[in-house]
Structure 1
Amino acid sequence: MADVHHFTHGLVTPGVAYALSILGSTLGLICTARMRTATTNKQRFWWIVLAAWALGGTAIWAMHFMAMLGFSVTGAQIRYDIARTAISAVVAIVVVSLGLWIVGFGKPNVARIVIGGIFTGVGVAGMHYIGMFAMRLNGDVSYDTSLVAASVLIAVVAATVALWFTVVLSKPLAIAGAALLMGVAVCGMHYTGMAAMSVKLTTPTLGGATSGASAANLLVPIGVLVLLVIGGLVFAIGAAPTEEDMAARAYLDRVQAAREEAAAVAQQRGTVRRPTAFTPRGK
């Protein structure tokens, strides 16, 4: 068996991967908190879409890709099938969005969270192994079934807990703490799945080159895409009104309605007085 290395660049790749997972989890939990306060199904749908991109696209898939930058096999040239790599990203986003849809529409309960967690966890594990299937090298890849099963179990438990977080958390400190835990779970699932892998080198391919794109070739386009997604999420979250904003707006609307009603009553009584300008609290 060939020597398999998961930390070729030391702690740089796992550190950045963990940071991406924390960032994606934080943005995703903020989106799900906004989803719960949405007043229409359309608003709720779009918050689910944004949360799926944050959790599935950034916290899970981008973390997976970054961690793979530190993966190497002694004596092997590693390349990636672009189509399969893209499919793994789509799978991550879709399964997370469906899991969020299961718990996000209708009244959340234990059954919904568990069903959504199982579905999402198995899907996330599938994303990981699709990504591994996209890897090409001059060797035969095999997996330890017990570690594969452990990685799937970790994914299911992590997804279930994450969906529970999306239902109950809204405070900044709670979201930050949950994001740290979710980052550990996502990274733990990834490296458990990677530990299950072993490689037996075979004869090098004709010409000594393996077809496909190297991780370095994919780094810039994927990095740009991830930055655009993160930027879009931050903009959407910042531009959308918070629960406090909506409460303040509702308060002002009630005050304005009361003033207009009082003016109408006064006019009917023939004692119309020009209403004084309303000054919001704190001004």
Structure 2
Amino acid sequence: MDHASMHHFDMGIWLLGLSFVVSVVGSIVGLACTRRSAVAVTDGERLAWLATAALSIGGVAIWLMHFIAMLGFTVPGSAVRYDIGWTIASAILSIVAVFIGLIIAGRTLNWLRLLAGGVVMGLAVNLMHYTGMRAVRIQGDIHYSTILVIASIAIAVVAATAALLFTLVLQSAIMRFVAGLVMGVAVVGMHFTGMAAVDVTLDSSRAVPAGSEVFDFLFPVFVIGLLALAGPIAAVMLAPDRKSAHLNAEADRLAAEAERATQALDRSPLKV
């Protein structure tokens, strides 16, 4: 078996830009949904917002970004194939792990919960990445540098924690955009740090591995993923802001008190 070189941008450096944009957009939408969950009136509404956030962050910002970046991954001398089962599992794990991390982080700033949520979300990014890499099939074996794997975990955890902090503390749309950029940097930085950890050895005697090429499933998933963002984006845009929600709640409260007062007056024996 021989050590082989790898290409991470075989289709061009533009893949880095595209994967970053997809990650940032998914992160911004997801973090906006997270912010909405903090002012939800009921537990059901809060969980619905968090589920939408997990889909945006875990499904688009992390999973879709990973496989867009993998378009440029080639190993000269070997075919590269993907196991669909592991590919689907990586998406599910990413979404579920992000959902758990967001629940742990909570509605308001609590440093212990924030750190725990950041760790879970950072690990979710890594979990998705290395589960997704488990789907890769080549005519040889894939090994990892322990130091760079640890570095990739640290990058994801620190940046995910910072993004959650911005979301919980800062309410302006501009700062939520900054939080999305931070999260996008975390995902992309973790991905390519993790890819730098990869080392492959080829065995020319092995047959071409079974599985699908990345183009076989990525294009329909890319389209579905971007269309799936339409729902969260519409929900965020159409949902009333915090001030409006507070005013509406106050108006409902005053109307209810007025109605009770009117009913009490109607039942009063002093009524003329």
Q: Secondary structure at the match of 1:62?
A: helix
Aligned CA distance change for structure 1 residues 257 and 126 (closer, same or farther; 3 Å):
closer
Q: Secondary structure at the match of 2:102?
A: helix
Aligned to 1:154: 155
Deviation by residue 1:77-106 (Cα, 9 ceiling, x = unmatched)? 10100000111111111111111111226x
2:248 is the counterpart of 1:249: yes
Aligned to 1:234: 233
Choose 1 or 2 for highest CA Rg: 1
Aligned to 1:49: 51
Percent of aligned positions that are identical: 43
Contact 1:21 1:186 in 2 (8 A): yes
Q: Which amino acid aligns with 2:165?
A: W
Shift of 1:145: 1.1
Q: What CA distance in whole angstroms lies between the structure 2 residues aligned with 1:88 and 1:247? A: 40
Aligned CA distance change for structure 1 residues 65 and 114 (closer, same or farther; 3 Å):
same
Contact 1:8 1:71 in 2 (8 A): yes
Aligned to 2:125: 124
Shift of 1:164: 1.9
Shift of 1:260: 6.2
Which of 15, 25, 33 is 1:23 aligned to?
25
Matches within 5 A, 1:39-188: 39-104=41-106, 108-188=109-189
TM-score (norm 1): 0.86
Q: Which amino acid aligns with 1:134?
A: A
Q: Secondary structure at the match of 1:34?
A: helix
Q: How many pairs does the alignment contain?
A: 268
Deviation by residue 1:94-139 (Cα, 9 ceiling, x = unmatched)? 111111111226x541111112222332232122111111100112
Q: Which amino acid aligns with 2:173?
A: P
Shift of 1:259: 7.0
Which of 9, 12, 16 is 1:10 aligned to?
12
Structure 1, gaps ≥5 residues long: 272-283
Q: Which amino acid aligns with 1:153?
A: A
Q: Which amino acid aligns with 2:30?
A: G
Higher mean alpha-carbon deviation, 114-123 vs 87-96, is at: 114-123
Contact 2:125 2:187 in 1 (8 A): no
Q: What CA distance in whole angstroms lies between the structure 1 residues aligned with 2:24 and 2:95? A: 16
Q: Which amino acid aligns with 1:54?
A: S
Q: Secondary structure at the match of 1:72?
A: coil
Moved over 4 A (4+): 254-271
Q: Secondary structure at the match of 1:187?
A: helix
Shift of 1:257: 5.8
CA RMSD in angstroms, aligned pairs only = 2.4
